[in-house]
């Protein structure tokens, strides 16, 4: 794994935006995997500035990692809404080419299969942006997830519900208990992966992902299997690396 460091989150976002722009710039039909949450926000801001300055991402197809089950798509914290607000609009993407798992589908198993098929039909993901949970999850692949798992319904870990309650007025009772997420196998099929992490709360998960054994107990450790992974970290997130 390649590790790039910046003193702060904004700097990490700049570095990650440079990587994303360089990877996508010359592709005729780029496919970008996008994450939600706090981690990629500095990256999206830095990328949006480049779009403002002339970078054209309008031919990019995007696939989100995950979506809550049980939130209507027009709920402000649904990932449909978050991706539209934080990714599609600021990056100048074509909304028709932006895909988010159908967490509200009546048949989630069929929806998961459709999502996998849509990624394959698009030619696979050229670059996947990731954050990491404090418990080492990627996407919503919580501890216990298999390395070859694919898009499916999962139950969120108590730690994830607690962490994400900040998006629901601090009320853990309002955080959905389940999500439809790309699997670890789905994520590892991307040709390149850029993981952004900042803040002391991620330091333990980052250190275990990079230096620990590959284990389902720390799903991000399976990123060690991928040939082109870059972690872009601020000093706090890197503070437990040896
Ligand atoms: C988001 C996702 C999650 C987050 C992780 C970190 O689509 O799949 O894995 O990346 O929970 O969240 P933040 O960045 O909010 O700390």
33 inside domain: yes
49 burial via Cβ count (<10 Å: 0-12, 13-18, 19+): middle
- pLDDT score recorded for residue 167: 97
Cα–Cα distances (Å) from 195 to 133, 138, 225, 227, in that order, read 11, 9, 14, 14
Residue 22's CATH number: 3.40.50.1360
Q: Are 34 and 62 in contact (CB under 8 A)?
A: yes
Residue 241 lies in a domain: no
Mean pLDDT confidence for 73-98: 97
**Residue 115 located in a structural domain:** yes
Burial label for 101, CB within 10 Å (0-12, 13-18, 19+), is buried
Active site residue 66: yes
> How far does the centroid of ligand 1 lie from the alpha carbon of residue 216, in Å?
18
What pLDDT does 19 receive?
98
In a domain, residue 239? The reply is: no
- Stated as kind and residue range, the H or E segment containing 85 is none
Residue 107: active-site member: no
Contact 87, 34 (CB under 8 A): yes
Q: Assign 3-class secondary structure to 11-78.
A: HHHHHHHHHHHHHHCCCCCCEEEECCCCCCHHHHHHHHHHHHCCCCCCCCEEEECEEEECCCCCCCCC
Chain centroid to CA 156: 15
Residue range 93-98: average pLDDT?
Answer: 98
Residues 109, 107, 101, CA angle at the centre, nearest 5°? 65
- What is the rounded distance in angstroms from the CA atom of residue 212 to the CA atom of residue 206? 9
Helix axes 9-24, 41-52, angle to 10 degrees: 50
Instruction: Please tell me the predicted confidence (pLDDT) of residue 126.
Output: 98
pLDDT band at 91 (very low <50, low <70, confident <90, very high): very high
pLDDT bracket for residue 129 (50, 70, 90): very high
Domain residues for 179?
Answer: 2-234
Inter-residue contact 238 to 5 (CB < 8 Å)? yes
Pocket test for ligand 1, best of 40, 69, 132 (most atoms within 8 A of CB): 132
The single residue of 14, 67, 102, 142 carrying the catalytic annotation is: 142
Residue 214, CA distances (Å) to 3, 59, 193, 210, 223 in order = 18, 36, 17, 9, 8
* Residues whose CB is less than 8 angstroms from the CB of residue 107 and which lie 6 or more positions away in sequence, other chains included: none
Q: What is the mean pLDDT of the chain?
A: 97
In a domain, 16, yes or no: yes
Please report the pLDDT score of residue 181 as a whole number: 98
Residue 139 has a pLDDT of 98
Q: Mind listing the pLDDT tens digit for each residue in 148-183? A: 999 999 999 999 999 999 999 999 999 999 999 999
Task: Summarize the confidence of residues 100-115 as an average pLDDT.
Answer: 96
Confidence of residue 99 (pLDDT cuts 50, 70, 90): very high
pLDDT the model gives residue 9? 98
Query: Would you say residue 174 lies in a domain?
Result: yes
Q: Find the 211 Cα to ligand 1 centroid distance in Å.
A: 21
Of 9, 35, 129, the one to substitute when testing ligand 1's pocket (max ligand atoms within 8 A of C-beta) is: 35
Instruction: Give the number of domains in the chain.
Output: 1
Atom of ligand 1 nearest to the CA of 197: 14
> What strand order describes the sheet that includes 66-69?
66-69, 178-181, 152-155
Q: Quick one: pLDDT at residue 90?
A: 98
CA of 134 to the centre of ligand 1 (A): 9
In a domain, 48, yes or no: yes
- pLDDT band of residue 68 (cuts 50, 70, 90) is very high
Tens digits of per-residue pLDDT, 191-241?
A: 999 999 999 999 999 999 999 999 999 999 999 999 999 999 999 999 999
The answer to whether position 22 is within a domain reads yes
pTM over 0.90: yes
């Amino acid at each position: 794994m390649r590790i790039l460091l910046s003193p702060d989150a904004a700097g990490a976002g700049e570095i990650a935006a440079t990587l994303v722009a360089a990877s996508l710039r010359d592709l005729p039909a780029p496919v970008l995997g996008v994450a939600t949450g706090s981690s990629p926000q500095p990256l999206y801001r830095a990328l949006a500035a480049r779009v403002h300055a002339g970078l054209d991402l309008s031919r990019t197809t995007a696939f989100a990692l995950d979506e809550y089950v049980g939130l209507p798509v027009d709920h402000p914290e649904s990932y449909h809404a978050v991706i539209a607000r934080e990714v599609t609009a600021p990056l100048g993407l074509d909304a028709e080419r932006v895909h988010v798992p159908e967490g509200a589908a009546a048949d989630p198993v069929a929806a998961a299969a459709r999502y996998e098929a849509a990624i394959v039909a698009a030619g696979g993901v050229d670059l996947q942006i990731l954050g990491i949970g404090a418990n080492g999850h990627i996407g919503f692949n919580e501890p216990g997830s298999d390395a070859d798992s694919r898009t499916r319904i999962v139950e969120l870990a108590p730690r994830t519900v607690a962490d994400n309650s900040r998006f629901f007025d601090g009320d853990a009772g309002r955080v959905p208990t389940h999500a439809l997420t790309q699997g670890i196998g789905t994520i590892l099929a991307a040709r390149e992966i850029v993981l952004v992490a900042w803040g002391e709360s991620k330091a333990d998960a980052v250190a275990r992902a990079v230096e620990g054994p590959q284990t389902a107990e720390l799903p991000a450790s399976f990123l060690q299997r991928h040939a082109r992974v870059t972690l872009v970290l601020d000093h706090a997130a890197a503070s437990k690396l040896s």
